[in-house]
Structure 1
Amino acid sequence: MAFHDTLVYINSTVESISAQFIRIPGSAIVLRYVRSSYQNDPMRSFLELCLFLFAVRYFLASKYSFAKKDFIKLSTKEVDDLVHEWTPEPLVAPLDETDQTEVEKIPVIIGISGPKVKLSTGKSVMNLASFNMLNLLGNEQIRERAIKTVREYGVGACGPSGFYGTQEVHIQTEKDISNFLRVPASIIYAQAFNTITSTIPAFAKRGDIIVADSAIALAIQKGILISRSTIRWFQHNDMDDLERVLQQVHKDFKGQPLTRRFIVTEGLFENCGDIADLPKILELKYKYKYRLILDESCSIGVLGKTGRGLTEYYNIPATEIDMIVGSLATTMCAGGGFCAGSEYVVSHQRISGNGYVFSAALPGYLAATASESMSIMQSSPEIFTQLLSNTRAFRAIIDKMTYMYSPSDPDSPLIHLQLNPEVLESRKIDDEDKFLQDVVDECIANGVLISRNKVVQSQEVFPVESTLKIMITTGLTKRETEKAAAVVKAAVSKVMSKVPKVKH
């Protein structure tokens, strides 16, 4: 009898609550939603109920209090003493002796970083450590264009491109890039590094597949990792290995839902100076139905009869490449970067390219500088003939060295030099980077500024070889370039003479 009375009480209570609930405005909509939701997806209704109960419990729970009675009460003097004794941990670990020495040895240039510069030490040197390969930095024509643009547009855009940051000069520069590369459209970014790290994630998402060269630069690596795509690596510039990877991907994902697939590589590799085999890559791209993202940050303004990059170097239409990404901060002596391709590729990035949407637009004078640089490239094709001539003159001397060799392409003005494997076996070189730094210091002492290829190995997906990094410029004559090569060769021999041989 008691059980029956309990049920009657529960039913009456529920009916009373229902009657009160129905009187609330909008209650009928809530009831209809709950019934429909439960009928279509009971699990969803259960989860929503759990979330509702959690919210109720959260808002009704008592607030957390730090006022605990078991705390030790300190006097003002004791608090002050503890504060004086406390030493915060450093945000950055202190430099060790090697790093401190390296920082102190960084050369400081006074004035424009031209082909011949004066260091803060007062010494004048030939500059082979700058991307000013076409000697456009300090060009009077470009300087006048930049000054005129500053007076007309100011020194900055003060807003993202999609939010009052786009100026007329930006639109013109995008047209100039499209015309220069002979593609339908292009888009410019405010930072060169952020261009590729924004372009790749704008198109490649989780579940998509990216096949990339193992020697690509750090910015490209970061763009690939940010995309969260499935990544497959092929051995550097090995087209047989690339095809092997593409075949393996086809087998591994056969029968699965179709996803977007990309091949990612560089035109002129920043960390070794060799050139991608574009004809073979395009052949495999079409054979296995991939899209191609080509980073030409180091090859634009360097390769080809008029500096249009790898496509011109191989006489291949740029429209064959799905996305051409490049820097305006290297040979064009401006700033920012660009992505060129179809209208769809460009339009999509205007709403999906993080670096474009969330960063302030490129300062107008830098956009104008890039446009003027391209104009000079097109009107003065002889500068590329001179650049190639200087490159081959330098290589003719350097290639005769005994202790070092260059993995770079003979036509590349970006030249890397690394120690021969036999030398590493026969000489007691404990620290390769220190040896190379000694060569750099010896070259500077003899009037030639070069650099080491400095990378943060912990950030690289694959280890990067320790090399000397040399960039040829048209700002020097052929004879001066040969003299610089002779200085580098002599510096290597002098430093090596101080290294003891390994005793067997």
Structure 2
Amino acid sequence: MSKTPVIIGAQSVKPKVEGYSKPLMNLATTNYLNLIAADRIREKAIATLRGYGVGSCGPPGFYGTIDVHMDLERDIADFLGTEQAIIYAQGFSTISSVIPAFSKRGDILVCDDGVCFAIQKGIQISRSIIRWFKHNDMQDLERILEEIRLDDMSHKKRLTRRFIISEGLSENMGDIAPLDKLVALKKRFKYRLVLDESQSFGVLGSHGAGLTDYFGIAATEVDMIVGSMANALCSSGGFCAGSEEIVDHQRLSGLAYCFSASIPAMLAVASSEAIQIIKNNPQDLQELVERVKTFRQVLHHKSLEGLIELFSAEVENPAPFFHVRVKPDFLQSHLYDDETNVSREDEEYLLQDVVDECAYHGVLVTRAKYVVDQERECPRPSIKISVTIGLTRKENEKAAGIVKNAIIKIFGKWRK
């Protein structure tokens, strides 16, 4: 559909992109707090590289664990308020390893039907009994839990392990799960709660500790908090935080932990330093919320009402990213005579034209990418916009205006 943009040199809020004479304002990465530019992290990482070398050359349980890995696990646990934490080498494989480490054939998983691809893979690998509830719909979740309870009573089924699985901040929809209601239901029906905080860790809440921080709920109320260090922390790897028993079990049963080489020492130190920066600079989190609010307000302009939908659409939503999708009514009003629906490919071409137009005017955005053939229910095509405090307020407003104008221009001449 289009060639992959190639960044020349270091990643930044204004990278040099191949084919463009001037640097582009970068709204295509998860560099929300501009930690990529943090000299403190860079200096610590370089010093660690010189002292420890590049890699640990072994899985954690086979001479791959070093002191900075243990330090990072303590830092994550302290930051979240859990007993312990365990780190994994890759963000994607963390949740897809954690789920089958605890849930096996015959166990029950009650899952949000909007979860991201990594969670879907973990659910699939577990071979458990799966029940899906509507995305962030607590009434539907309660209905399913009650159905399972009544079915157990009527058929006198044996007791099995049971889990509720949800995302704190939805990767595909950009909305926030009602954690207070999730905790209440898991207690009432006696389930364990697995919460993926890959998108919310480091950005939500007054201290950046994610959904438990945002809702003012003790992290110990959630059985497993899983997250990625490759998003807000601008590092690599993933983690699972919880009780001592939860963490210890994974050191022998988490396949991605047991059979993947440990993350390089410099990346572990970078993650620890990023957590300290977030803890010491809570004003950056509030600034990020204001930037996102400003961007959303621009895209709520009346001129875009009949063209696009924002996910999530609430102006007050503190999520640092959102999806822009074409309004179904707009697509239906531009059908060819022999069409009943606009194809997914044509919809993606339309959005790619917007992406290219934004780049031409100095803003780097991207279409959200999906493994279409393997997704349980593939989300509709979208442009994913990630806001950063690395740009000034004026640049943020300018970027929002460029995106708005690009949508109006491209949509206005589509299929004319």
TM-score, normalised on structure 2?
A: 0.94
2:264 counterpart of 1:357: no
Q: For residues 178 and 310 of structure 2, what CA distance do their matches in structure 1 show?
A: 18
- Residue type matched to 2:358 in 1? C
- Residue type matched to 2:72 in 1? T
Q: For residues 209 and 84 of structure 2, what CA distance do their matches in structure 1 show?
A: 15
Give 3-state SS (helix, strand or coil) of 2:225's partner: strand
Q: List 4+ stretches of structure 1 deviating above 6 A.
A: none
Q: Which of 184, 194, 206 is the equivalent residue of 1:283?
A: 184
More off after superposition, 414-423 vs 209-218:
414-423
Displacement of 1:411 after TM fit?
Answer: 1.5
2:320 counterpart of 1:422: no
Q: For residues 418 and 251 of structure 1, what CA distance do their matches in structure 2 show?
A: 40
Cα displacement string for residues 87-127 of structure 1 (whole angstroms, at most 9, x for unaligned residues): xxxxxxxxxxxxxx42x2x2111122211111112331100
2:308 counterpart of 1:404: yes
2:376 counterpart of 1:461: yes
Where does residue 13 of structure 2 map in the other structure? 115
**Among the aligned pairs, what percent are the same residue?**
51
Q: For residues 301 and 327 of structure 1, what CA distance do their matches in structure 2 show?
A: 10
2:298 counterpart of 1:383: no
Q: For residues 30 and 24 of structure 2, what CA distance do their matches in structure 1 show?
A: 16
Where does residue 396 of structure 2 map in the other structure? 481
Structure 1 unmatched runs, 5+: 1-100
The answer to which structure has the higher helix fraction is 1
Where does residue 322 of structure 1 map in the other structure? 223
Displacement of 1:208 after TM fit?
Answer: 0.3
Q: For residues 444 and 380 of structure 1, what CA distance do their matches in structure 2 show?
A: 32
Q: For residues 114 and 271 of structure 2, what CA distance do their matches in structure 1 show?
A: 28
Displacement of 1:421 after TM fit?
Answer: 2.2
Indicate the structure whose relative CO is greater, using CA pairs within 8 Å and at least 6 residues apart. Answer: 2
Where does residue 358 of structure 2 map in the other structure? 443
Q: Which of 122, 136, 158 is the equivalent residue of 1:223?
A: 122
Query: What root-mean-square deviation, in Å, do the aligned CA atoms of Structure 1 and Structure 2 show?
Result: 1.1
Q: Within 5 Å, which residues of 2 pair with 1:212-291? A: 212-254=111-153, 255-291=156-192
Displacement of 1:252 after TM fit?
Answer: 2.8
Where does residue 338 of structure 2 map in the other structure? none
Q: For residues 302 and 426 of structure 1, what CA distance do their matches in structure 2 show?
A: 39
Q: For residues 422 and 333 of structure 1, what CA distance do their matches in structure 2 show?
A: 38
Displacement of 1:219 after TM fit?
Answer: 0.5
Q: How many residues align?
A: 399
Q: For residues 305 and 266 of structure 1, what CA distance do their matches in structure 2 show?
A: 19
Checking the alignment, whether the CA contact within 8 Å between 1:175 and 1:186 is kept in structure 2 is yes
Q: For residues 492 and 289 of structure 1, what CA distance do their matches in structure 2 show?
A: 48
Instruction: Name the larger-Rg structure.
Output: 1
Checking the alignment, whether the CA contact within 8 Å between 1:389 and 1:478 is kept in structure 2 is no
Q: Which of 178, 181, 194 is the equivalent residue of 2:80?
A: 181
Checking the alignment, whether the CA contact within 8 Å between 1:208 and 1:261 is kept in structure 2 is yes
Where does residue 414 of structure 2 map in the other structure? 499
Cα displacement string for residues 62-94 of structure 1 (whole angstroms, at most 9, x for unaligned residues): xxxxxxxxxxxxxxxxxxxxxxxxxxxxxxxxx
Q: For residues 464 and 245 of structure 1, what CA distance do their matches in structure 2 show?
A: 23
Where does residue 194 of structure 2 map in the other structure? 293
Cα displacement string for residues 291-349 of structure 1 (whole angstroms, at most 9, x for unaligned residues): 00000000011111111001111111111100000001111011100000000000000
TM-score, normalised on structure 1?
A: 0.78
Checking the alignment, whether the CA contact within 8 Å between 2:370 and 2:378 is kept in structure 1 is no
Q: For residues 253 and 231 of structure 1, what CA distance do their matches in structure 2 show?
A: 15
